[in-house]
Amino acid sequence: MELNLSGMVGQSACLAEVLRVLAKVAPTDSTVLVTGESGTGKELLVRALHANSRRAGKPFVPVNCGAIPRELLESELFGHEKGAFTSAVRTRQGRFELAEGGTIFLDEIGEMDLSLQVKILRALQEKEYERVGGDKTLKADVRIVAATNRDLETEVAAGRFREDLYYRLNVIPLHLPPLRERGQDILLLADYFLGRFCRQKSRPTLTFSPEARGLVLGYPWPGNVRELENFMERLSILCDSEVVGIEDLPRKILDHAGVAPPPPVALAEAGFRWPTLADLAEKSMGLKEFMDTLEEKLLIEALGKASGVKNQAAELLGIKRTTLIEKLKKRNMAGD
């Protein structure tokens, strides 16, 4: 069966390995623990897991355990009976009930209190739970998938996470490698996001100059795929030309590569440039004629600046007064 990747992009060997395990474990009901740094795509991976399971037609219910106040998390997960606490004015279903038949995703499970961890363990092992303030035992036909960017073994050693729950969750570990270890996936994702954002904004797709590509590839992306995605969105809004050059890259990428930001384009164009053979050809001049003309222009400019005072003009040109007069005579410009 073709794997539904739910929009996961990447061809690196380390991601392929994760997807190989995903394809095997998805159709089973096993508990999966997804680990990885922030922004590596843990939620996307869990969605792909659900999409490839036999529960795909049933709800997928994510719960961010770190974002819900501790005292509310239990009732959020298991629901409550009317009157269970002061604000419980009516009976309410919890997320386990809403996920019935499907998958519940316990994100940031490392943030959960020890007392609630016991109840999750029971829901996992006995498939049973009670609403807060309720005495009726409810049955849960729910697959539990958890994720964390903490090192749960360290949390267990520190007494902040139950060892039995850790082993029960960690039946099938899926570890998402940080983006910096995925090599060319960085560029694949960069092009993918850039294409998507440019289409959304109905502008032609931006491409990278070779130098900019090199710097994007070499940057360690501490915020992983999320950081890369946000940066591509920014480019799709702020980059004026159709090619992303190094001047469009943020300071942190240039600093990492030890590259000084180039001067703005307008300044660079107005700056000094030595004449080239092409300039001689364009003016149809030989070397002597070109040099004489150049010299004449500078003499005239200097005289103009000095209001015709030869001493001053010579000083501006860095030559002796007598040399200046000689040059002017040759050109019949000496005046009196």
Ligand X SMILES: Nc1ncnc2c1ncn2[C@@H]1O[C@H](COP(=O)(O)OP(=O)(O)OP(=O)(O)O)[C@@H](O)[C@H]1O
Q: Contact positions toward Mg ion, by CB under 5 A?
A: 43
Instruction: Identify which of residues 44 and 325 has a Cβ nearer to ligand X in the complex.
Output: 44
- Segment contacting ligand X by CB under 6 A, of 32-40, 128-136, 248-256, 266-274: 32-40
Contact in structure between 18 and 45 (CB atoms under 8 Å): yes
Residue 229 is a binding residue for ligand X (CB under 6 A): yes
Contact in structure between 45 and 9 (CB atoms under 8 Å): no
Closest CA to 232 of 256, 254, 248: 248
Residue 7 touches which of ligand X, Mg ion, none (Cβ within 5-8 Å per kind)? ligand X
Interface with ligand X (CB under 6 A), residue from 22, 32, 35, 41: 41
Distance (Å, rounded) from C-alpha 218 to C-alpha 243? 19
What's the closest the beta carbon of residue 190 comes to ligand X, in angstroms? 11
3-state helix, strand, coil in the chain (%, to 5): 50, 10, 40
Contact in structure between 223 and 39 (CB atoms under 8 Å): yes
Residue 306 touches which of Mg ion, ligand X, none (Cβ within 5-8 Å per kind)? none
**Residues in 184-203 that interact with ligand X by CB under 6 A:** 189
Interface with ligand X (CB under 6 A), residue from 43, 97, 211, 296: 43
Residue 40 is a binding residue for ligand X (CB under 6 A): yes
**Residues in 123-182 that interact with ligand X by CB under 6 A:** 149
What residues form DSSP beta bridges with 145?
Answer: 32, 105
- Segment contacting ligand X by CB under 6 A, of 167-175, 209-217, 223-231, 282-290: 223-231
What three-state secondary structure class fits 193?
A: helix
State the DSSP H helix or E strand holding residue 107, giving kind and residue range, or none if neither. strand 103-107
Cα dihedral 208→213→215→218 (10° resolution): 150
Binding site for ligand X (CB under 6 A): 7-10, 36, 38-44, 149, 189, 225-226, 229
